[in-house]
C-alpha cells in the first residue's frame, strides 16, 4: 500500500491546504457533503464517520465512529508527543484577555503558541493544538464551555502544566442552574492537569476556595486578586484614558488597556508567567507591548472625531458592570453614550440582572443610554427613573439605534458599545466608524 503523508488538519473544505487531512464534522451542516470539494482542493486523506454511507473510492479514507471524538483524540495524541509546556485558561470572563497577556509576557522569553481569537470550544481547542509547531516551548490554550464535562474533556486533551481560572460569573446559568455549578464546571480543569502542575485561581471568589477544599488529591495552588489573603495582590490601582497602573510586590506595572477590572487579569498572567521563570523586567515589557484580541474595550477615533469603545464581543452582568464603571470614569468628553444590548444565557433571573444594570447607571457620569433588544428594555426602564427625559431610549433594531446615534453624537463625545455575542453589536461600531 502506498504511504500517504499528512501535513495539517482542516475542517473547512474551502480553506484546506494541499496535503491536509480533512475532518468532516457533523454540525448544522454535515461536513461529509463537502468531502468531494476538500479532495479537489488538495486534501491528502479524509476521515469518514461510520454511520454515513458511500465513502469516497480510490482515495485514502480513515473510518471512525465519530469525527469530533477522532479530532480530539488526534489532538491529544499530538500534544502528548511534544515537549511543549501548556498553560490552560478557563473562567466566566477574562479568558481571552488573560490568554493574550500571558502570551505577550511569556513570549519575551520563550517561543509561544496561543489560541487564535476565540477558538476555545470542543472543536477550537483541538484545532489549536494541531496547529502547533513542534518547536513551540509554551502553548497558551483558552478553554470555554457551555455544560458540565466539557472543561474536563478539554483539560485531559491539553494536559496543562499551569492552569488558570480567571473568575466565576453568571454566564451559562440557563444551562448550569447556579454559580456553584458554574464553579464546579470550571474546576474540572484540574482533572487533566499533570501531577506537578500548578493551579492559578482567583482568590476573591469563595466558591473556588470551597471547590479546592473538597479536592482529593490536593493540587498546588497560587492565588491572585484584590483580597488580602491572595498571594498576587494589587495595590495603588490608578486608571486613565490610556491604561491602568498598579503595584505588585513593591513593583510598578502598567497595562495599556482601559478598565481597572483588567488588573485581576494581569495578576493572573503575572503569576502564570513567573511560574515559567520569566523575569520581572520581562513581565513588565510583555505587559507594555500587549495587543489584545479585538472587541474588548477597543478604542478607536471615528472620522467624524468622536471616540468609539468597542466592547461588543460578549456581555455578562460582571463584564457589563466593569465596562460601565470604566466608561463612567473617563474624562474629557462632552457627552458619553452607552449603547448596551441584551445579556443572554442568564436563566430565570435574566430580567433581574438587566434591571440591576439599569439601577447602577448614573446620569452624572454617563449622559445617554440606548438599549438594543427586548431584555435590555429592563435596563432602560430602570435608568429612565433617574435620567432626564429623552436621555434613555430603547430599540429593538440596531438600524434604529444607529440612526438616532448619528443624529445625536458630536465630535467631542464618546460611545461605549456592549452586548451579547448573538446580537453582533459590533455592527453598530462599524456603522459609526
Q: Distance between CA atoms of 335 and 158, rounded to whole angstroms?
A: 47
What dihedral do alpha carbons 152, 157, 158, 159 form, nearest 10°? Answer: 80
* Residues 47-105: tens digit of each pLDDT: 999 999 999 999 999 999 999 999 999 999 999 999 999 999 999 999 999 999 999 99
> Is residue 358 scored above 90 in pLDDT?
yes
Give the start-to-end residue ranges of the domains of the chain. Answer: 9-65, 71-288, 298-432
> Is residue 2 scored above 80 in pLDDT?
no
The residue with cell 461600531 is: 429
* Residues 192-228: tens digit of each pLDDT: 999 899 999 999 999 999 999 988 778 999 999 999 9
Q: Whole-number mean pLDDT of the chain? A: 96
> Is residue 13 scored above 70 in pLDDT?
yes
How confident is the model at residue 116, as a pLDDT?
93
Of the CA atoms within 13 Å of residue 59, those in its CB half-sphere come to: 19
Grid cell in block for residue 210: 470551597
How confident is the model at residue 399, as a pLDDT?
97
When pLDDT is cut at 50, 70 and 90, the band that residue 424 belongs to is: very high
Share of the chain above pLDDT 90, in %: 93
Under the phi-then-psi rule, with left for phi > 0, alpha for psi from -120 to 50, and beta for the rest, what region is 149? Answer: left
* Residues 235-252: tens digit of each pLDDT: 999 998 889 999 999 999
Domains 9-65 and 298-432 in one fold? no
Q: Does domain 9-65 have CATH number 2.120.10.30?
A: no
Query: Mind spelling out the 3-state secondary structure of the chain?
Result: CCCCCCCCEECCCCCCCCCCEECCCECCCEHHHHHHHHHHCCCCEEEEECCCCCCCCCCCEEEECCHHHHHHHHHHHHHHHCCCEEEEEECCCCHHHHHHHHHHHHCCCCCEEECCCCCCCCCHHHHHHHCCCCCCCEEEEECCCCCCCHHHHHHHHHCCCEEEECCCCCCCHHHHCCHHHHHHHHHHHHHHCCCCCEEEEECCCHHHHHHHHCCCCCCEEEEEECCCCCCEECEEEEEECCEEEEEECCEEEEECCCCCCHHHHHHHHHHHHHHCCCCHHHHHHHHHCCCCCCCCCEEEECCCCCEEEEECCCCCHHHHHHHHHHHHHCCCCCCEEEEEECCCCCHHHHHHHHHHHHHHCCCCCCCEEEEECCCCHHHHHHHCCCCCCCCEEEECCHHHHHHHHHHHCCCCCEEEEECCHHHCCHHHHHHHC
Grid cell in block for residue 45: 486523506
> Is residue 1 scored above 70 in pLDDT?
no
Q: What is the pTM of this model?
A: 0.91
Share of the chain above pLDDT 70, in %: 100
How confident is the model at residue 4, as a pLDDT?
82
What does the pLDDT average to over 392-415?
97
> Is residue 181 scored above 90 in pLDDT?
yes
CATH superfamily name and code, 298-432: Mur ligase, C-terminal domain (3.90.190.20)
* Residues 128-155: tens digit of each pLDDT: 999 999 999 999 999 999 999 999 999 9
How confident is the model at residue 318, as a pLDDT?
94
What does the pLDDT average to over 265-290?
98
Domain 71-288, what fold?
A: 3.40.1190
How confident is the model at residue 287, as a pLDDT?
98
Amino acid at each position: 500500500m502506498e504511504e500517504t503523508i499528512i501535513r495539517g488538519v482542516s475542517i473547512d473544505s474551502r480553506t484546506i491546504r494541499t496535503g491536509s487531512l480533512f475532518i468532516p464534522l457533523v454540525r448544522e451542516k454535515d461536513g461529509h457533503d463537502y468531502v468531494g470539494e476538500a479532495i479537489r482542493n488538495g486534501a491528502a486523506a479524509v476521515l469518514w464517520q461510520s454511520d454515513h454511507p458511500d465513502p469516497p473510492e480510490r482515495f485514502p479514507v480513515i473510518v471512525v465512529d465519530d469525527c469530533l471524538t477522532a479530532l480530539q483524540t488526534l489532538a491529544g495524541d499530538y500534544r502528548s508527543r511534544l515537549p511543549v509546556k501548556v498553560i490552560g485558561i478557563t473562567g466566566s470572563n477574562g479568558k481571552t484577555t488573560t490568554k493574550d497577556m500571558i502570551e505577550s509576557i511569556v513570549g519575551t522569553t520563550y517561543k509561544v503558541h496561543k489560541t487564535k481569537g476565540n477558538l476555545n470550544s470542543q472543536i477550537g481547542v483541538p484545532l489549536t493544538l494541531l496547529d502547533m509547531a513542534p518547536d513551540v516551548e509554551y502553548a497558551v490554550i483558552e478553554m470555554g464551555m457551555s455544560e458540565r464535562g466539557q472543561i474536563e474533556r478539554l483539560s485531559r486533551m491539553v494536559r496543562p502544566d499551569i492552569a488558570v481560572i480567571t473568575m466565576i460569573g453568571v454566564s451559562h446559568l440557563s444551562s448550569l442552574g447556579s454559580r456553584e455549578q458554574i464553579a464546579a464546571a470550571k474546576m474540572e480543569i484540574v482533572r487533566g492537569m499533570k501531577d506537578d502542575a500548578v493551579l492559578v485561581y482567583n482568590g476573591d471568589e469563595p466558591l473556588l476556595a470551597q471547590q479546592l477544599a473538597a479536592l482529593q488529591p490536593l493540587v498546588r495552588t497560587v492565588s491572585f486578586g484584590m483580597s488580602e489573603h491572595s498571594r498576587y495582590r494589587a495595590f495603588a490601582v490608578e486608571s486613565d484614558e490610556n491604561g491602568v497602573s498598579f503595584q505588585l510586590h513593591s513593583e510598578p506595572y502598567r497595562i495599556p488597556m482601559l478598565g481597572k477590572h483588567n488588573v485581576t487579569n494581569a495578576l493572573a498572567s503575572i503569576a502564570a508567567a513567573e511560574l515559567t521563570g520569566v523575569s520581572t523586567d520581562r513581565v513588565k515589557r510583555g505587559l507594555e507591548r500587549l495587543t489584545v484580541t479585538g472587541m474588548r474595550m477597543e478604542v478607536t477615533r471615528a472620522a467624524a472625531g468622536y471616540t468609539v469603545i468597542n466592547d461588543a464581543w460578549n456581555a455578562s452582568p460582571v463584564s457589563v458592570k466593569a465596562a460601565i464603571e470604566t466608561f463612567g470614569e473617563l474624562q474629557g468628553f462632552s457627552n458619553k453614550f452607552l449603547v448596551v444590548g441584551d445579556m443572554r444565557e442568564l436563566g430565570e433571573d435574566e430580567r433581574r440582572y438587566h434591571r440591576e444594570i439599569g439601577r447602577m447607571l448614573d446620569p452624572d457620569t454617563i449622559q445617554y443610554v440606548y438599549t438594543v433588544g427586548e431584555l435590555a428594555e429592563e435596563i432602560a426602564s430602570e435608568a429612565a427613573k433617574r435620567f432626564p427625559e429623552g436621555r434613555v431610549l430603547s430599540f429593538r433594531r440596531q438600524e434604529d439605534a444607529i440612526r438616532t446615534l448619528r443624529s445625536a453624537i458630536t465630535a467631542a463625545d464618546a460611545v461605549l458599545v456592549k452586548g451579547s455575542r448573538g446580537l453582533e453589536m459590533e455592527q453598530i461600531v462599524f456603522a459609526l466608524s
